[in-house]
Amino acid sequence: MNVLILPSWYPYDSNDTGGSFFREQALALKEQGCTVAVLTQQLRPLRNWRSIFLGRYGVTYENDQEVSTFRKHGMKWFPWMENFQAWQCKKNLLGAFERYMQAYGQPDIIHVHSMLYAGWAAKSISQKYNIPYIITEHSSLYERGLITKNQKKLAKKISESASKRFAVSSSFAKFLSAYFKEKGVAWGVMPNMVTSPFFNASSDNSDESKPFSFVGIGSLTKRKGYDILMKAFAQVLKVQPDVRLIIGGVGSEQPELQSLAKKCGISDKVDLLGALSRKQVVQHILSSDVFVHSSFYETFGVVLIEALALGRPVISTRCGGPEDIVREQDGILVDVGDEGSLAEAMLHLYAHRKTYDRGELREACYERFSEKVVINKLMQVYRELLEEECKRG
Same domain, 217 and 339: yes
Both 7 and 138 in one domain: the answer is yes
Q: What is the pLDDT of residue 206?
A: 54
Q: Which residues contact 160 (CB under 8 A, 6 or more apart)?
A: 180, 182, 185
Are 355 and 379 contained in the same domain?
no
Q: Hey, CA dihedral for 87, 90, 96, 99, is it positive or negative? A: negative
DSSP 8-state assignment for residue 194: B
Task: Give the residue numbers spanning the domain of 251.
Answer: 196-368
Rg of the chain (C-alpha set): 22
Is 166 found in the same domain as 17? yes
Residues 142 and 202 in one domain: no
CATH number of the domain residue 240 falls in:
3.40.50.2000
Instruction: Judge if 311 and 348 occupy the same domain.
Output: yes
145 and 11 housed in the same domain: yes
pLDDT in tens, the chain (393 residues): 999 999 999 998 777 777 899 999 999 999 999 999 999 999 988 877 777 877 889 999 999 999 999 999 999 999 999 999 999 999 999 999 999 999 999 999 999 999 999 999 999 999 999 999 999 999 999 999 999 999 999 999 999 999 999 999 999 999 999 999 877 788 999 999 999 989 998 877 656 778 999 999 999 999 999 999 999 999 999 999 999 999 999 999 999 999 999 999 999 999 999 999 888 999 999 999 999 999 999 999 999 999 999 999 999 999 999 999 999 999 999 999 999 999 999 999 999 999 999 999 999 999 999 999 999 999 999 999 999 988 886
Q: How far apart are CA 251 and CA 278, in angstroms?
A: 17
C-alpha 305/C-alpha 192 separation (Å) is 9
Q: Indicate if 200 and 306 belong to the same structural domain.
A: yes
Asked if 220 and 251 count as a contact pair (C-beta separation under 8 A), the reply is yes
Residues 165 and 273 in one domain: no
Torsion of CA 380, 385, 390, 393, to 10 degrees: 180
pLDDT computed for residue 205 by the predictor:
64
Question: For residue 208, how far is the Cα from the chain centroid?
Answer: 33
What domain count does the chain have? 2
**Cα–Cα distance for residue pair 290/301, rounded to 1 Å:** 16
Are 358 and 374 members of one domain? no
- Tell me: do 219 and 284 sit in the same domain: yes
In this structure, the answer to whether residues 252 and 172 fall within a common structural domain is no
Strand order of the β-sheet with 35-45 is 58-64, 67-76, 35-45, 2-7, 109-113, 133-137, 164-167, 188-189
Whole-structure pTM value: 0.93
What is the reported pLDDT for 393? 67
